[in-house]
Amino acid sequence: MTTQSHRKGESGNIPFRSERFFCAGDRWYFSTREGFDSGPYASKERAEASLARFLSVVQKLPKTH
């Protein structure tokens, strides 16, 4: 079990965090904060690359409040 700590710039209670990547059978997936699971991928490395692409697209979206 890993010990959770504050991320840079955070204060207050530490929110629950879980791994973004998980394996079901021999296939890999990633989860987003919004509850979306993406996959399957043939390897964890492919899931990591897909998450990086996903995050680059999300960062380009207009901010809504």
27 half-sphere exposure, CB direction, 13 A CA radius: 7
pLDDT (0 to 100) of residue 53: 95
* Whole-prediction pTM: 0.67
Give CA–CA dist 30/21, Å, rounded.
Answer: 4
Residue 44 has what pLDDT?
95
Give residue limits of the domains in the chain: 21-60
Q: Tell which wins on pLDDT, 19 or 61.
A: 61
Chain segment 5-39, per-residue pLDDT in tens: 655 676 766 555 568 899 999 999 999 888 899 99
Tell me how far apart the alpha carbons of residues 15 and 5 are, in angstroms, rounded to a whole number.
9
pLDDT band at 1 (very low <50, low <70, confident <90, very high): very low
